[in-house]
Structure 1
């Protein structure tokens, strides 16, 4: 009888311990399940502005700067005078967007009314006129949705004519090739249309101008421009 009671007590004790272990396991599993955190997948909004693609546009603006010259006539002389005027033309470019960064290349060509005049050889008038100018540049921008500030730099060219009048009447034209760099901001007005405002500094380099068999002038210049553009974006 005593043996049977002892066996019953052991059976009850074993059953109680098993129940407690089972309950502890359930609670532990529940806590582990509660500890799992599922991060939501954040997708780019469907209406986020897309800068990737080809575009073409029109531009216009104003430029100003200095024209410098050195000549071998009259024992040699040098001087500088101001140039300024408006310009207008076309641009073509392509952008690739990676996250918020926008990488692009842009080319432009413009008719130019930038000109100015000074005094050469103490008696003659000297004038310079940029007939047209263009550039091929890289662009790097950072997009805040449809607003993109950017920097730009590349190669610049300008077709320039220098004329002398007075005791000597002569003119010569040359293609200047230099470099240009600037900053700007572009704003998307719609999926296909954007507008930009840009400042650039351009170093036109130097070229020799022949006014007579023994009269040569070296002309160089620097230019500041501020321009606005309206662009049409394809495939948006």
Structure 2
């Protein structure tokens, strides 16, 4: 009886071991024959587009005007405040920004020299601009071109008004406040030359030149 028990136990154990060996071998075969899974390449994210200064823009500006030359050479000192509009267009190549700009405004200039009194009026300019984008939001530029201004001279209850023509040059910085709105600070020097004015005592030559400190707000489109 014991012999049959051990014999049955031996047969059952051998069958179990055989099944286990066969399962392990097949499992190993499956692992060996599964092809390696190729990992898809990780996409490289491109950086966000850099903001550009290229395109047209319009804006408003205002500030303080300082004009003058020694009275001895026919020009007098004027100062006052001004306000106006500006518009232009930019082109951009890398960090280099270039374009054209015009402005039109009104100068509340006043001054006097002896019996003469002086008053400014409408003025404007047409200029070229050349700048360098320090960052995508800050543009440093220089500008130069032609300028014009209306100037009135009065003496002995008689006045005369002329359009003064000259040149202007300056430097400034534009800084973006949003993607399309920018602020501006600019200094410009302008020489309007001189003109002959006919007043109460006859003809006299007068003119004006000096600087402007301008702040502005523009919209790019």
TM-score w.r.t. the length of structure 1 is 0.70
CA-CA distance at 1:191 after TM superposition: 1.2
Q: Shift of residue 69 of structure 1?
A: 6.4
Q: Please name the residue that 2:197 is paired with.
A: 209
Select the residue among 153, 159, 184 that pairs with 2:150: 159
How many Å separate the matches in 2 of 1:155 and 1:47?
36
In structure 1, how many angstroms separate the alpha carbons of the residues matched to 2:173 and 2:50? 18
1:225 alignment counterpart = 212
Matches of 2:92 and 2:164 in 1, distance apart? 33
8 Å CA contact 2:76–2:208 kept in 1: the answer is: no
Question: Could you tell me which residue of structure 1 aligns to residue 82 of structure 2?
Answer: 87
Residue 160 (structure 2) pairs with residue 175 (structure 1): no
| Structure 1 position 81, deviation (Å) | 3.3
Hey, which bits of structure 1, 4+ residues long, moved more than 6 A? none
2:59 paired with 1:57: yes
RMSD between superposed Cα atoms in Å: 2.1
Q: Distance in 1 between matches of 2:55 and 2:75?
A: 43
| TM superposition shift of 1:117 | 0.8
Q: Of residues 185, 196, 206 in structure 1, which corresponds to 2:173?
A: 185
> What residue in structure 1 maps to residue 186 of structure 2?
198
Unaligned runs of 5+ residues in structure 1 are 1-40, 71-77, 120-124
- 1:114 equivalent to 2:109? Answer yes
* Deviation for aligned residue 1:80: 4.6
Q: Deviations over 1:43-80 (max 9, x none)?
A: 7x43412100010100001001215668xxxxxxx655
Checking the alignment, whether the CA contact within 8 Å between 1:87 and 1:111 is kept in structure 2 is yes
User: Which residues of structure 2 form unaligned runs of 5+?
Assistant: 1-43
Q: How many residues align?
A: 177
- Residue 126 of structure 2, aligned match among 127, 133, 136: 136
After TM superposition, the structure 1 stretch with the greater mean CA deviation from structure 2, 59-68 or 94-103, is: 59-68
TM-score by length of 2: 0.75
Cα distance in 2 between the residues matched to 1:216 and 1:97 = 50
| Structure 1 CA distance for aligned equivalents of residues 90 and 83 of structure 2 | 23
